[in-house]
Amino acid sequence: MITKNSVEDVAVKLLYLAVTELPQDVKKALQQACREEESEAGKTQLKAILDNMELAEKTRTPMCQDTGVIIFYVKAGGQVKGLDKIEKALRNATVRATKEVPLRPNAVDPFTQKNTGDNTGRFIPFINWEIVPGDTLEITVMPKGGGSENVCALGMLSPGIGVNGLKKFVVDTVINAGAKPCPPNILGVAVGGGADIAMKLAKAALLRPLDQPNPDPNLAKLEKELYEAANSTGIGPMGLGGKFTVLGVKVDYAHRHPASYPVAVAVQCWAARRASARIYPDGKIEYLTHKVV
Amino acid sequence: MAIYKLKTPISEEKVRKLRVNDVIYVTGIMITARDAAHRRALEFHKEGKALPVNLQGLAVFHCGPIVKKDDDKWMVVAAGPTTSTRMDLFEDEFIKNFKVRVVIGKGGMGKKTTNAMKKYGAVYGAFTGGAAVLAAKAIKKVRSVEWYDLGMPEAMWVLEVEDFGPLTVAIDAHGNNLFEDVQKKVEEERLKIYQKLGA
């Protein structure tokens, strides 16, 4: 049985795993960048990132002081019972994790500037719902840091310029961001739909592991092209110069209005934190991004 | 590139030996200061009041740490750097008046600060953004907390550190600024990248 309690416990665990240990694909990409980086300053920064990552794992402390705004992605099987209890469970989990892990309280009222102190507030944690066939419940958490969030960009481009405009917009976003989003970054890029749809898809694209190229060969080619373009800027790790400004680019799209060409770029910092688990109807829990002993 | 281990108080002579791209580790006394502590320190100076700590030869860290109190003893839990450009407003006067020798943060600083570093002898050490655990590990002891009324992140934390780093010297005392060099090169690349993409 999938119960409110089991969902809450799993979500607390996912929050803990996400902030203390990077998923394998991100770890590997950072290690590879450190091996291949040619700029001295860039290499020093990447080494520090790897040392920090290992220490965080060993001491079970958050790898970055900014433990982000909490975003959940829930893939709920249509046959799962008690879906109306899940939101409450995820909010409870967020409050608990804030105390137990601990997480930095990052939910501030935009009018009174008051911090709620427990990472919950209006629409926060934010939950992205997807109803899928089946009887399992898949929960992903993405704690999203503020430094990289501040350089996310949306362009409502001219359809006449098309995909070339998209490419230029991505390069401009990377250059304008410079050192600010703690590079090397991961870029989620999405085009089409509408302003909100493009940004939502761009952010969700960040969840696809770095070692998984786009299943659409044309988009896989575009991802590679954008990856090479971003890295030829020379911004490098922490903006100190070098080959690795991004670790990967993930592209997604929706069909668009004939008059619109929305392009969204979601920027993720090197601390690209995410954790997922699947809960089965018999209560079995499978962790998808982390080894859990 | 060379690696240097510096002990506070750091002399002007030592700091002038450093060049951009060098890597430094700081041992001794480091204080944290963000916008509010910078502003207050300069106000104190204007009014002729002494600061709670003599900053000459010390390192100042742009950081709002998470600190917890266990049995009356402060412990730094996480201490990643904050964006330094916000302190460009104050840093030239800060360096001039208090003779700090190493300014630590992320993202680099501007012309005004670079000029002050050249004139009075100081460097900017870039610490890896987000590397909060690495920073906390090098902080051995909280010696005191001053101006706690500014709040935990904005207060001035006086810390004993051991081999705090690695810090990449990104602005040296000779007017070189690595971040500006990188930005210049990036701008030169921009058009080439557009062309290659057909954009």
Q: Name the residue facing B133 among A63, A175, A238 (closest C-beta).
A: A63
Distance CA(A243)–CA(B88), nearest Å, equals 28
| A106 contacts A119 by C-beta, under 8 angstroms | yes
Shortest Cα–Cα distance, A73 to chain B (Å): 24
| Weakly modelled stretches of chain B, pLDDT under 50 | none
Chain centroid, CA A210 distance in Å: 11
Distance CA(B180)–CA(A233), nearest Å, equals 14
Most A CBs within 10 Å, among B168, B172, B183, to test the A interface: B168
Averaged pLDDT of chain A: 96
Contacts of B183 in chain A (CB under 8 A): 178
**Residue with structure tokens 């690695």?**
B166
User: B88: number of CA atoms within 13 Å, CB side?
Assistant: 13
pLDDT in tens, A235-269: 999 999 999 999 999 999 999 999 999 999 999 99
The confidence band for A54, taking pLDDT boundaries of 50, 70 and 90, is very high
pLDDT in tens, B117-167: 999 999 999 999 999 999 999 999 999 999 999 988 899 999 999 999 999
| A152 contacts A189 by C-beta, under 8 angstroms | no
Q: Name the residue facing A234 among B77, B108, B189 (closest C-beta).
A: B189
Distance CA(A55)–CA(B85), nearest Å, equals 28
The ipTM (two decimal places) reads: 0.90
Distance CA(A89)–CA(A148), nearest Å, equals 28
Contacts of B66 in chain A (CB under 8 A): 65, 104
At the second CATH level, the architecture of B3-197 is: Alpha-Beta Barrel (3.20)
Q: Catalogue the E-assigned strands of chain A.
A: 69-77, 126-132, 137-144, 153-157, 185-191, 246-253, 261-268, 275-279, 285-287
**Domain locations along chain B:** 3-197
The confidence band for A293, taking pLDDT boundaries of 50, 70 and 90, is confident
Share of chain A above pLDDT 90, in %: 95
Angle B60-B98-A182 from CA coordinates, rounded to 5°: 25
pLDDT in tens, A82-116: 999 999 999 999 999 999 999 989 999 999 988 99
Q: Is the dihedral of CA A75, A77, A78, A80 positive or negative?
A: negative
Angle A199-A64-B169 from CA coordinates, rounded to 5°: 105
All structural domains of chain A: 4-21+63-145+273-287 (3.30.1330), 147-268 (no CATH)
Angle in degrees, 0-180, between the axes of helices A40-59 and A24-36, rounded to the nearest 10: 150
The confidence band for A1, taking pLDDT boundaries of 50, 70 and 90, is low
Distance CA(A234)–CA(A283), nearest Å, equals 49
Q: Name the residue facing B193 among A104, A182, A233 (closest C-beta).
A: A233
Contacts of A179 in chain B (CB under 8 A): 106-108, 129, 179
- Name which of A178, A237, A188 is nearest A50 in CA terms: A237
Share of chain A above pLDDT 70, in %: 100
Residues of A with CB under 8 A from a CB of B: 40-41, 44-45, 47-49, 51-52, 55-56, 59, 61-66, 104, 145, 147, 164-165, 167-168, 171, 175, 178-180, 182, 225, 229, 232-236, 238-241, 269-271
| A246 contacts A174 by C-beta, under 8 angstroms | yes
What chain A residue is nearest to B127 in terms of C-alpha separation?
A45
The answer to whether the CB atoms of B133 and A225 lie below 8 A apart is no
What pLDDT does residue B67 have?
A: 87
Q: Catalogue the E-assigned strands of chain B.
A: 3-7, 23-32, 59-61, 66-70, 73-78, 102-105, 123-126, 139-146, 156-171
Element (H, E) at A45: helix A40-59
Q: Name the residue facing B166 among A44, A145, A165 (closest C-beta).
A: A44
Distance CA(B28)–CA(B13), nearest Å, equals 18
Cβ atoms < 10 Å from Cβ of A114: 11
Q: Go through chain B and tell me how many residues it has.
A: 199
pLDDT in tens, A120-153: 999 999 999 999 999 999 999 999 999 999 999 9
Residues of B with CB under 8 A from a CB of A: 1, 21, 23, 65-66, 77-80, 83, 106-108, 126-134, 136-137, 166, 168, 170, 178-179, 181-183, 185-187, 189-190, 192-194, 196-199
Question: Dihedrals φ, ψ of A22, to 5°?
Answer: -75, 150
Q: What is the DSSP string of A114-182?
A: -B-SSS-BTTBSEEEEEEESSS-EEEEEEEE-HHHHTT-EEEEE-TTTHHHHHHHHHHHHHHHHTTTT-
Distance CA(A144)–CA(A140), nearest Å, equals 13
- Name which of A170, A216, A215, A212 is nearest A191 in CA terms: A170
Cβ atoms < 10 Å from Cβ of B115: 13
What chain B residue is nearest to A182 in terms of C-alpha separation?
B129
Q: Name the residue facing A229 among B21, B127, B197 (closest C-beta).
A: B197
| A143 contacts A67 by C-beta, under 8 angstroms | yes
Q: Dihedral, CA atoms, A43, A67, B180, B3, nearest 10 degrees?
A: -40
The answer to whether the CB atoms of A61 and B65 lie below 8 A apart is no
Residue B38 is a catalytic residue: yes
Distance CA(A173)–CA(B198), nearest Å, equals 17
- Side chain identity, residue A5: N
Tokens coding A67: 């433990």
- Name which of B166, B154, B193 is nearest B62 in CA terms: B154
